């Protein structure tokens, strides 16, 4: 199962090769789309589409309900039937009518409000803003991701990519005081994880960039 927590775009052919190796060994390929699915990447509805692969099982949760607790598993009838033969599946809230109505309403709103396209357009604006900051602030390294799933890597040295872990944590706290909520991510905790709502406006994107610029300029 492959997910993406830091906004790093997978190398060309990586996922296709990984899927081929798993299937050759008799395994199933699971796409964890909890964070990158439901239009967040902008150019595609599912994250795995960008790698040109088709998983055997898709897992999805938070985006389905826009705050309402709901999750889902998408798979083929063949796999579902095989799992059913191994025992019973039980969930107290599984498949209840209210959750289903909420999930459908979220999909309707996404289509009517053009949220996937908004993620593409505003996400590109946001990423370009972060890259412009890198031209003025040495601490800003590579900007990862696509759409409204971005990672701003903070480094002490652009050649060695020495992680600016302490600085990243302090910057997050200062940004919070300015009304911008981001978290650190990656195994080195030096990447600012920028994952705003899909309805983010261009004005709000500009505010995020300006706030980070202010923090980097004034110090933290």
The helix/strand count (H/E) of the chain reads as: 6, 8
- Higher pLDDT: 87 or 7? It is 87
CB-based contact 79:55 (threshold 8 Å):
no
Q: What percent of the chain has pLDDT over 90?
A: 82
Query: pLDDT by residue (tens digit) across 2-52?
Result: 444 556 678 899 999 999 999 999 999 999 999 999 999 999 999 999 999
pLDDT, residue 2, reads 46
Nearest to 194 by CA among 139, 137, 136, 128: 128
Cα–Cα distance for residue pair 159/164, rounded to 1 Å: 13
The half-sphere exposure of 150 on its side-chain side, counting CA atoms within 13 A, is: 29
Between β-strands 57-60 and 183-185, what pairing exists: parallel, antiparallel or unpaired?
Answer: unpaired
Q: What is the mean pLDDT of residues 57-72?
A: 92
> Please, what is the average pLDDT of the chain?
93
Least confident of 78-92, 114-128, 140-154, 188-202: 78-92
pTM: 0.88
Q: Is residue 164 pLDDT above 80, yes or no?
A: yes
């Amino acid at each position: 199962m492959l997910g993406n927590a830091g906004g790093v775009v997978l190398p060309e052919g990586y996922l296709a090769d990984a899927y081929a190796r798993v299937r050759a060994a008799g395994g199933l390929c699971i796409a964890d789309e909890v964070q990158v699915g439901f239009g967040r990447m902008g150019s595609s509805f599912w994250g795995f589409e960008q790698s040109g692969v088709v998983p055997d099982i898709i897992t999805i949760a938070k985006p389905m309900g826009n705050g309402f607790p709901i999750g889902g598993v998408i798979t083929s009838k063949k796999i579902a039937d095989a799992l059913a033969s191994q025992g019973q599946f039980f969930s107290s809230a599984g498949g209840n009518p209210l959750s289903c109505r909420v999930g459908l309403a979220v999909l309707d709103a996404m289509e009517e409000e053009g949220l996937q396209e908004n993620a593409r357009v505003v996400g590109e604006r946001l990423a370009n803003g972060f890259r412009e900051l890198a031209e003025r602030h040495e601490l800003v390294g590579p900007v990862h991701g696509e759409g409204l799933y971005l990672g701003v890597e903070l480094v002490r040295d652009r050649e060695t990519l020495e992680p600016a872990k302490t600085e990243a944590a302090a910057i997050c706290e200062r940004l919070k005081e300015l009304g911008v909520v981001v978290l650190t991510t990656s195994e080195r905790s030096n990447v600012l994880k920028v994952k705003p709502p899909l309805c983010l406006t261009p004005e709000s994107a500009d505010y995020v960039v300006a706030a980070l610029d202010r923090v980097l300029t004034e110090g933290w």
